[in-house]
Amino acid sequence: MLRVVRRPASPGWRGALVVSGSALLALAVSLLLLTVQGVSPLTGLKVLVLGAFGSTWAIEDCLLKAIPLFLCSLGVAVAFRLQIWNIGAEGQFALGAIGATWVALSLPGLPKFLLLPLMILAACLAGGLWGLIPAILRQRLGASEIIVTLMGNYIAILLLEFLVYGVWKDPSGFPMTPAFPEAALLGTIGTTSVNWGLAHCLVLGAAVWVLFRFSRFGYELRACGDNVRAARYAGLPYDRLALLVMVLGGGLAGWAGCIEASASLGRLQPSIMAGYGYTAIVVAWLARLSPLYIGLIAFLLAGLRRGRTPAARPAGTGRLRFDHRGTDPADRAGRHLFPHLLHRPGEAAMNAELLVPLFAAAVVSGTPLLYATLGEMCTEKTGVLNLGVEGVMLVGCLAAFVTARLTGSPWLAFVAAGLAGGLFASLHGVVCLVFQGNQVVSGLALTLLGTGLANYLGTGLVGQAAPGFAPLPVPVLAGIPVLGPILFVHDPLVYLSYLLPSLFWLFFTKTRPGLHLRAAGEFPGAAVAAGLNAVACRWVGVVAGGFLMGLGGAYLSLAYTHMWTNNLTAGRGWIAVALVIFAFWRPGRAVFGAYLFGGIMALQLRLQAAGTTLPSSLLLMLPYVLTVAVLVFSSGRRRSAPAPAALGTNIEPPA
């Protein structure tokens, strides 16, 4: 006999306790890091608090930083309410700033009461349309909005840089636009340094709160977010809501970009991209998607940004910022690793002598992608989605670099990177397999944590070199025409990557342990009924996958660059996540995908070195545009090779 029982509601104090405990734990870890570096924790805490809230000017600066963070967080929360993972607030912020700048530069003669509303409208339209693109691709083709919005961030930032380094460049020669006219400046409140964007935040925050609590739209959001299938069965317009929340969220992030360009900078320049869109994800979840709490959390995190200023950190360190304008260390190192790719000006045709080294460079560029893709595929085969590939790769990359410098052994460093990657990925396992946390949110947090940790600990290593792997041509095979120079003149890690896909396929299709791991990802309930420990199988997938991701990071610092710089992965972790979908969870297709993307990266480098007239920002877009194109193509054909049936679904641990 079936009996319907009301699910007990979680008391409000429990959520507040979890958030408070998490904040205290994060603070304790930060103070521990200061202690390891020989800094007194109390001194560091005092500098942080006084730097953030120790003066009127500091508090006003916190409010200035909280304004764009609040609006981006509000936009993210709207989409998250519907369980749509909009990770693209950073790109939508950039498009909003571009839209506002276009109006300010095109209509400088308009009075303020017309110009400012037009700037805000253009910013909201630009950000909203940028958010609409992944929503349509998700709805029509089933493309992952996570990957599409993330790649959209890279593309939008590069588009912004293309404009400020190109058509909108200030006549003075600096990479920024001319100053906005006086009518395009938002202005400050009274005698303070706080701009009128604060008033915009108060009005918009109250409006979204009312919309959530007292409108039919808010009810439909809650109902669809709680249970999509039940909402569809009840006739709720889920598809329409999905489009609306992405447009609304993108519009709010675009509004933030307009305020930052108009009130804080008075022009458009690359420094406007301070990572507000990525931090907004953390703010939204810490505030439990509540507009009221978002304001408080945004102010406190803005205080952390402001409080670290007196610590005299080098510019750009510790910020979640993806710098693309020719700063990818792998691209810089490629000029030295592959001098034969740099053809002389005046050569017009690409002949066989140029194609062979280009294909060889594609193999090298694709090798870290292959390691990371197989690692994510291993994790997903067991039913766990880990979006923290970027962070795990960076942790492995740093572990390999430090170990190589300390021991002088590249092989020991390579193993250390895998162990560090597996250990760091186990944090994802704790959240999802022990505490039944949301796999998407946990993976995003892992990327944020890994990026920040690697940049923080690696600050003192920037520009330094470490012993690594050198090319080791294979006797006889290296002399084979065409194939020899392409496949057999590389370092040992490339040769190891040749074996991994076959071993991966054999393990998951021909061995009993591999079939057990797949069962945990396909039918965990049946696996448990058959006597398998499905949770233990998923633990193996998470740790083993993290090990392979760490190896992919190690390749960048030990074989590709032999030096350390922040954000060394440059988005390769996210490309690896997309490649798993492109490969239909098949290791053989992963090889093709990794080398395809490696070839695009190598081609981009070659075109820049050839002195092409195309701006470097547009060339740097190629891998990210291709990622979206491949994801759309793969999503449209995914029915031929579906994902593991229980992917992303948590299972109860054994009693």
Rounded to whole angstroms, what are the CA distances from 114 to 111, 119, 271, 362, 465? 6, 9, 27, 52, 55
22-31 long-range contacts, Cβ below 8 Å, gap at least 24? Answer: 22/286, 23/286
Q: What are phi and psi of 518, to 5 degrees?
A: -65, -35
User: Which value, to the nearest 10 degrees, does the dihedral of the CA atoms of residues 49, 53, 54, 57 take?
Assistant: 140
Which two three-digit tokens encode residue 249? 């969220």
How many other CB atoms sit within 10 Å of the CB of residue 529?
10
Which two three-digit tokens encode residue 341? 């790719």
DSSP type of residue 267: S
353: CB partners within 8 A, 6+ apart: none
Which pLDDT tens digit goes with each residue over 94-131?
999 999 999 999 999 999 999 999 999 999 999 999 99
What's the pLDDT score for residue 229? 81
What's the pLDDT score for residue 333? 37
Which two three-digit tokens encode residue 278? 């990525």
Global pTM? 0.81
Cα 2 to the center of its chain, rounded Å: 45
In 3D space, the residue among 571, 555, 148, 599 whose CA is nearest the CA of residue 328 turns out to be 571
Cα 536 to the center of its chain, rounded Å: 28
DSSP-based three-state secondary structure for 465:
strand
In 3D space, the residue among 466, 154, 450, 452 whose CA is nearest the CA of residue 313 turns out to be 452
**What type of residue sits at position 583?**
A
Residue 504: CA atoms inside 13 Å, Cβ hemisphere, count? 28
In 3D space, the residue among 653, 625, 453 whose CA is nearest the CA of residue 533 turns out to be 653
Dist. CA 460–CA 326, nearest whole Å: 22
Report the sign of the C-alpha dihedral through residues 631, 585, 440, 67, in that order.
negative
Dist. CA 342–CA 321, nearest whole Å: 29
What's the pLDDT score for residue 348? 39
Dist. CA 245–CA 323, nearest whole Å: 29
In 3D space, the residue among 362, 327, 350 whose CA is nearest the CA of residue 597 turns out to be 362
Dist. CA 79–CA 450, nearest whole Å: 25
Per DSSP, the residues of 395-408 read: HHHHHHHHHHHHH-
Q: What are phi and psi of 563, to 5 degrees?
A: -150, 165
Q: At what angle do helices 534-555 and 352-381 cross, to 10 degrees?
A: 150
Report the sign of the C-alpha dihedral through residues 83, 84, 90, 92, in that order.
negative
Contact predicate 160/269, CB 8 Å:
no
What's the pLDDT score for residue 375? 97
Mean pLDDT by 10 residues, the chain (655 residues): 50 62 71 74 78 85 94 94 90 96 94 95 97 93 86 92 92 90 92 93 94 89 84 86 95 96 92 89 88 91 72 36 38 39 41 76 94 96 94 96 95 97 96 88 89 89 91 92 92 96 96 94 89 93 97 95 88 89 89 90 74 75 84 67 82 62
> Hey, what domains does the chain have and what are their CATH numbers?
45-309 (1.10.3470), 329-340+351-470+490-640 (1.10.3470)
Rounded to whole angstroms, what are the CA distances from 27 to 46, 50, 56, 356, 454? 13, 16, 24, 52, 18
In degrees, to the nearest 5, what angle opens at C-alpha 379 toward C-alphas 594 and 280?
Answer: 85
In 3D space, the residue among 361, 396, 377 whose CA is nearest the CA of residue 597 turns out to be 361
Dist. CA 567–CA 454, nearest whole Å: 8
Q: What are phi and psi of 48, to 5 degrees?
A: -65, -50
Dist. CA 330–CA 487, nearest whole Å: 20
Q: Report the residue count for the chain.
A: 655
Dist. CA 61–CA 76, nearest whole Å: 23
499: CB partners within 8 A, 6+ apart: none
* Residue that is written with structure tokens 């609306």 in the block: 244
104: CB partners within 8 A, 6+ apart: 115, 119, 180, 181, 184, 261, 262
DSSP type of residue 173: S
In 3D space, the residue among 320, 323, 322 whose CA is nearest the CA of residue 301 turns out to be 320
Which two three-digit tokens encode residue 418? 């895998």
Contact predicate 124/95, CB 8 Å:
no
Strand partners, 563: 465
Per DSSP, the residues of 623-649 read: HHHHHHHHHHHHHHTGGGSPPPTTTT-
Which pLDDT tens digit goes with each residue over 467-498?
999 999 999 999 999 899 999 999 999 999 99
What's the pLDDT score for residue 12? 58
Which two three-digit tokens encode residue 631? 């994801």
Dist. CA 51–CA 310, nearest whole Å: 6
Residue 620: CA atoms inside 13 Å, Cβ hemisphere, count? 27
Residue 190: CA atoms inside 13 Å, Cβ hemisphere, count? 5
Report the sign of the C-alpha dihedral through residues 565, 567, 573, 575, in that order.
negative
